[in-house]
Chains A and B, each alone.
Chain A
Amino acid sequence: MNPPRPRPKLDQENTAFWTGGSEGKLNIVKCGDCGEFTHPPRLLCRHCQSENVAAHAVAGTGVIDSFTVNHQPWAKGLEVPYVIARVKLDDAPGVYLTTNIVNCPVDAVDFEDKVRVVFEEQDGIFYPLFERTV
């Protein structure tokens, strides 16, 4: 059995991201003025520096930009191998998420695979993982 995932410390900037999964939402900070996205989440838009920013629920779909099959157990009891990927979100230009690709064998994962978010909850944190959509 896997050890618990490292737990992000919630704060004003990141809470919407790490808890949005409780409502099935993948929340990314979006600017109300220029419309651009800022990730990692910040209290102002990194494109126009407007403070008119808010968490915005994106579709939760994307494509695999790059990935690695990790074989090294970085923590005691961690089950390997597993896939770490960089997912490019479909509707949040310029935003990439490091995540895990789950619910398929590791050797099924490839570049450009279409994926969608699935949340894994652990003590109130909703980790956005992704699975392939066939």
Chain B
Amino acid sequence: MASTEAYITGLGQSEVGVRLPRHPLLLTVDAVREALDDAGLTLSQIDGVFTYPGKMNGYTAFSPVSSDDLIEVLGIKSKWHLGAAEQPAQLAAIGAAVMAVKQGLVRHAICFRTVYEAGGMADPGTYMSGARQDTVTGSSQWTSPFWATSAACWTAQYAARHMHRYGLTREQLGQIAVNGSKNAMRNPRARAITKEELTLDKYMSARMITTPLCLYDCDRFSDASTVVIVSAGDALGDVKSTPVRVAAMSGSVDRYSWDQVEWPAAYETGADLWTRTDYTVKDVNTAQFYDGFAFLPITWLEGLGFCEKGEGGKFIEGGTRIALDGELPLNTFGGQLGAGRLHGFGFAHEAVNQLRGTATGRQIAGDPKVAVATSGGGPMAAALLLARD
């Protein structure tokens, strides 16, 4: 019998660092153990494993652990699993688990994202896929030949367009990184990434990567694993934690191309989220928005309707509105800019922490009940609306 709702019931995270000596598979197991303890579940109760993007090691150890690896080493009797890049961005892996538990295929699913990009670069012989390719193929052939090598170069052109068309300023954009740094200082898991608070002055004088994005607008390769457990509504009796319901989700890809589209998919995905729920943007107590580059949260603020398109810069001006004690606390764990490139899953992890009231040292005030977590940039995006009932 299909259950009607899906809940996030367990949170886990490994040590987060830069060039950690611990193997990424073991980091993943660390995060799984913490999530199981948190939920009050045992491995024998797990019957699904979901990840993004599946094992994929290119020029970095982008994704060194597969769902199959985890099923094997943890002795999971899986009834459904998935590890795939062809999904609407990172949090789509949690979305797939939600679909599986709603369908009644799975009762408790481990969802994970493991990155080992810093450690992998330091030890390419062990972690990289091997032969350097002589040619570029697929979508990268339309960018790499022009030395538009990094997603920074592609995202920069969206940001530049926003500045040109709507008047976004660097001072406004800087609030994303400054806010992330402030919040990261309150997050023990961000110690290795943010060691001191970033000031706007320091931001403004930082070296450019690709205009208008400076060093602090770009997240940093990190080593970490983040886990959330998704459980079926009719299996909550197994769980000791406070469950947080996945109230709605949305994802979109218009064209899988960074340069044939004018704006990132956050606009489409953001608008779509509200068509799937009775909640409205006014109900949201905290926003955890993908910030692999500082411009991206602005697209989510506008796409989800926290402000009009083009008004995102003014919305975050001065940083008070998005601060921990502001009207819309943003990226309260530090985001990827402050807490490391956890690659999407950090946003869901933190949203649940805040809704449970367990974000020690950085818990937002009041009695937060609704949060939005997002992932993606460029042509793909996914959003989760999370609610504590």
Contacts and interface: CB of A to CB of B under 8 A. Distances in A.
A9 B141 contact: yes
Given A39-B260, A68-B153, A96-B260, A6 B211 contact: no
B143 interface: yes
A71 B209 contact: yes
A98 B257 CA distance: 11
B150 A7 contact: no
A7 B147 contact: no
Contacts of B158: 66
Contacts of B134: 7
Interface residues of A, number: 34
A71 B149 contact: no
Contacts of A70: 147-148, 153, 156, 209-211
B257 A71 contact: no
Interface residues of B, number: 36
A100 B146 contact: yes
Interface stretch (A25-33, A50-58, A78-86): A78-86
B367 to A, nearest CB: 43
Contacts of B145: 5-8, 125, 127
A69 B161 CA distance: 13
Interface string B137-160: 101111111111110111011101
A96 B259 contact: yes
Contact of B142 (A7, A40, A69): A40
B211 A69 contact: yes
Interface in A27-78: 39-40, 65-72, 74-75, 78
B148 A98 contact: yes
Contacts of B143: 98
B136 interface: yes
Contacts of B152: 72
B146 A7 contact: no
A68 B157 contact: yes
Contact of B208 (A5, A69, A74, A100): A69
A72 B257 contact: no
Task: Give the one of A8, A85, A94, A100 with max B CB within 10 A.
Answer: A8
Contacts, number: 100
B149 to A, nearest CB: 4
B135 to A, nearest CB: 4
A84 B136 contact: no
A129 B148 CA distance: 13
B49 to A, nearest CB: 34
Given A8-B145, A39-B260, A75-B147, A84 B135 contact: no
B282 interface: no
Interface in B198-218: 207-213
Interface string B301-324: 000000000000000000000000
A71 B260 contact: no
A67 B148 CA distance: 11
Nearest to B164: A111
Contacts of A6: 135-136, 140, 144-145
A35 to B, nearest CB: 18
A14 interface: yes
Nearest to B156: A68
Interface in A83-97: 84-86, 94-97
A97 B259 contact: yes
B260 to A, nearest CB: 6
B138 to A, nearest CB: 9
B137 A8 contact: yes
B150 A9 contact: no
A74 B135 contact: no
Nearest to B211: A69
B293 to A, nearest CB: 12
6 contacts: A8-B141, A14-B141, A66-B164, A68-B156, A68-B210, A84-B147
Interface of B: 134-137, 139-150, 152-154, 156-158, 160-161, 164, 207-213, 257-260
Nearest 3 CB-CB pairings of A with B: A74-B149, A9-B135, A68-B156
